Chains A and B, each alone.
Chain A
Amino acid sequence: MKAFKTLDGLVMPLDRSNVDTDAIIPKQYLKSVKRTGFGPNLFDDWRYLDPGEPGQDHGKRRPNPDFVMNQPRYRGASILLARENFGCGSSREHAVWALEDAGFRVVIASSFADIFFNNCFKNGVLPIVLDAAILDLLFRETEANEGYRLRVDLEQQTITRPNGETIHFEVDEFRKYCLLNGLDDIGLTLQHADEIRAYEDRRRREAPWLFEF
């Protein structure tokens, strides 16, 4: 996994709540057996005016000029501002793969759906929860100032606005450690293999029917 330490990035606002994973990456692209290449189909239904299918040349499709991603001022954005309950719905990790593939490394929202939130950390993407009032301020500033950037520092757990003021955010200690160091958590878990085996031995005695099939 890619490590995440700091990011100075252009901000793109997506001003709607309950953005679900079907909207982030529509189902027809889930047929891929790979982890990469989902970026051109991020927010596909909103981003293009014509319907899309896997394998198509997406560069030749008709972009929806009203959708925020197609506005030149947000080209190259790496920080996504969103609203309540971002990433709700399906567990598809393809949603995070699509965001990451399209260049987003930070998503800021007032709340996230649990599975999406988890999936972010597995892919070097940092989801940040902020109070709705602070989020409102960031939305206003982003929309009012072309080229609006934020600096995110995971170690310090801060977001620095262009005026130099910082916003503190919370992050789980273990997840922060993994993200800062780009650690594969399977490797970390396997360091406890003896404990897993000891648990299994005990459990096999207590509840043998769980191991019968």
Chain B
Amino acid sequence: MSGRTLYDKLWDAHLVREDANGTALLYIDRHLVHEVTSPQAFEGLRLAGRKPWRTASILAVPDHNVPTTHREGGVEGIEDPVARIQVETLDHNCEEFGITEFHMDDARQGIVHVIGPEQGATLPGMTVVCGDSHTSTHGAFGALAFGIGTSEVEHVLATQCLIQKKSRNMQVRVEGELGPGVTAKDVVLAIIGEIGTAGGTGHAIEFAGSAIESLSMEGRMTVCNMAIEAGARAGMVAVDQKTIDYVAGRPFAPTGELWERAVADWRRLVSDADARFDRVVTLDAGAIRPQVTWGTSPEMVVPVDAAVPDPEQESDAVKREGMRKALAYMDLEPGTPVTSIRLDKVFIGSCTNSRIEDLRAAAAVVRGRKVAANIRQALVVPGSGLVKQQAEAEGLDRVFLEAGFEWREPGCSMCLAMNADRLEPGERCASTSNRNFEGRQGAGGRTHLVGPAMAAAAAVSGHFVDVRTLSES
């Protein structure tokens, strides 16, 4: 019998029951909740006269809808009445059912996928779910983490379980050494460019190889975060010393004798040497250059030193038409060098790239420079109140403010533009977020996905620039 993959081990450890046809009941250790996808679930629970199965497994935070300026008025101060009702509804639901919530005025408030790991509420070996597709982020800790819909949120609340069928095993190996200036974001965009946005559909992806191992925990979170953009519900990385060091001492992490037992258990969270994967894809780390998306799907991506591709070169008719539509929406001509694309706005933030390491990387580029005159707005939105505090302690806020960036309060912000932070029709943005879909950052807005240093370089240049050449000058 061949060995087991990391995904197999996580699956087996959480199996409550399995029917002959493979329909399984999977136990959920950690349930993260935010204001947008939970109200209907709590309402369903109430209508059926049910209660949460295990409230201690739940951690709630408002993040999607919260304003990133003028927090002094509290929840009542949210100008958009519909958004305010949603945040208030979360507060009421958590109070009614006795659920731990980091309120909008709590220093620990932030993007749900930033605060889970930050608090040690995400632990290796856990199953982690949330009504948000970027829950895959938590897989960086050797956890099985995936996004669910609102009916499933209600199901987990009521039963602590999900009805699931096992996914297939896929491994994406990134081997070799990443070049200077090439980050986790470039790695994951390059992977999506290679396998496509449906490349991981039906699979759980384990990211492996020396380049993945060399990434920090922040970097691994960035990679796992965008597993969903490759079509995979779950992305994960095996546990190593870096994982354990990151978790140690965090508020929700075990301590003392329990910590020792937990660590011994977590060290087994790696794929066996003879484990079999249904599909393996290998990338050469040394060949990955800083990436920029040009279209309206994350797979529409090229290296910064390339040009916008020509649909006429595409042989598949449906794809060709998709490229034409994307170019029309993005108002780009085939053959345009990426470095000549001028920008209107820059957004540094989101559950993909708003952690302290991301802010440090962006600040390093910005230091001593000014935001270019043609940039109407450059935003930095830290992933959590604690990331913001840390950045301020390091003086990063001053670096951004002096360069002409705005320094905001934590939340999802312009990644999906549910709050006031958004693109106006026709505006073009360099964004460290995860989706360049039509209208994602505001109706008619045009999004180019990049890493934090590339976004910073674009802000100070007014157009895309290869950050590797900028740092040399």
A7 to chain B, nearest CB (A): 21
- A18's partner among B197, B232, B233, B262 (CB-CB below 8 A) is B197
B198 to A22, Cβ gap below 8 A?
A: no
Q: B27: CB under 8 A from chain A?
A: yes
B325 to A33, Cβ gap below 8 A?
A: no
Within 8 A of B (CB), among A1-36: 15-18, 20, 22-23, 26-28, 30-35
A55 to B161, Cβ gap below 8 A?
A: no
B418 to A114, Cβ gap below 8 A?
A: no
Within 8 A of A (CB), among B413-438: 416-418, 425, 435, 437-438
Whole-angstrom CA separation of A26 from B441 in the bound complex: 10
Q: A93: CB under 8 A from chain B?
A: yes
Whole-angstrom CA separation of A132 from B23 in the bound complex: 27
Beyond A186-B155, A210-B29, A210-B126, whether A89 also contacts B322 by CB under 8 A is no
Within 8 A of B (CB), among A167-213: 172-174, 184-186, 189-190, 192-193, 195-196, 199-200, 203, 207-213
A13 to chain B, nearest CB (A): 13
Q: A68: CB under 8 A from chain B?
A: no
Q: A142: CB under 8 A from chain B?
A: no
A174 to B39, Cβ gap below 8 A?
A: no
Beyond A17-B319, A31-B82, A189-B25, whether A210 also contacts B151 by CB under 8 A is no
- A185's partner among B86, B163, B262, B435 (CB-CB below 8 A) is B163
Residues of chain B within 8 A (CB-CB) of A51 are 425, 443-444
Q: A76: CB under 8 A from chain B?
A: no
B86 to A84, Cβ gap below 8 A?
A: no
B89 to A33, Cβ gap below 8 A?
A: yes
Q: B286: CB under 8 A from chain A?
A: no
In the complex, what residue of chain A is closest to B325 when comparing beta carbons?
A16
A91 to B265, Cβ gap below 8 A?
A: no
Beyond A17-B318, A85-B201, whether A199 also contacts B27 by CB under 8 A is yes
Beyond A45-B443, A186-B154, whether A195 also contacts B16 by CB under 8 A is yes
B325 to A91, Cβ gap below 8 A?
A: no
A68 to chain B, nearest CB (A): 14
Q: B121: CB under 8 A from chain A?
A: yes
Whole-angstrom CA separation of A200 from B27 in the bound complex: 9
Whole-angstrom CA separation of A133 from B39 in the bound complex: 41
In the complex, what residue of chain B is closest to A178 when comparing beta carbons?
B163
B123 to A192, Cβ gap below 8 A?
A: no
Q: B71: CB under 8 A from chain A?
A: no
A16 to B321, Cβ gap below 8 A?
A: yes
Within 8 A of A (CB), among B57-89: 57, 64-65, 80, 82-83, 85-86, 89
* A100-108, A117-125, A146-154, A158-166: which lies at the interface: A117-125
A186 to B50, Cβ gap below 8 A?
A: yes
B115 to chain A, nearest CB (A): 14
Q: B117: CB under 8 A from chain A?
A: no
B159 to A209, Cβ gap below 8 A?
A: no
B56 to A211, Cβ gap below 8 A?
A: yes
B17 to A45, Cβ gap below 8 A?
A: no
A115 to B254, Cβ gap below 8 A?
A: no
Q: How many residue pairs between the two chains, A and B, have CB atoms under 8 Å in the bound complex?
A: 190
B443 to A85, Cβ gap below 8 A?
A: no
A24 to chain B, nearest CB (A): 10
User: Per-residue CB proximity of B233-267 to A under 8 Å, as 1/0?
Assistant: 10000000000000000001010001101100100
B258 to A208, Cβ gap below 8 A?
A: yes
Whole-angstrom CA separation of A207 from B425 in the bound complex: 52
Whole-angstrom CA separation of A200 from B417 in the bound complex: 40
Q: A73: CB under 8 A from chain B?
A: no
In the complex, what residue of chain A is closest to B300 when comparing beta carbons?
A18
* B142-150, B330-338, B340-348: which lies at the interface: B142-150
Whole-angstrom CA separation of A55 from B231 in the bound complex: 33
Whole-angstrom CA separation of A115 from B57 in the bound complex: 22
Q: B110: CB under 8 A from chain A?
A: no
A163 to chain B, nearest CB (A): 25
B86 to chain A, nearest CB (A): 5
In the complex, what residue of chain A is closest to B295 when comparing beta carbons?
A18
A192 to B202, Cβ gap below 8 A?
A: no
In the complex, what residue of chain B is closest to A28 when comparing beta carbons?
B418
Beyond A199-B16, A209-B254, whether A111 also contacts B158 by CB under 8 A is no
Q: What are 25 of the A-B contact pairs (CB < 8 Å)? A: A20-B297, A23-B438, A27-B440, A31-B82, A33-B39, A33-B43, A51-B443, A85-B197, A88-B197, A91-B133, A91-B147, A114-B202, A114-B231, A174-B21, A174-B23, A185-B163, A186-B158, A189-B155, A189-B163, A195-B17, A196-B161, A199-B27, A209-B259, A209-B261, A213-B252
* Top-9 shortest CB links A-B: A122-B151, A209-B254, A33-B39, A93-B149, A119-B149, A91-B147, A31-B82, A85-B198, A93-B150
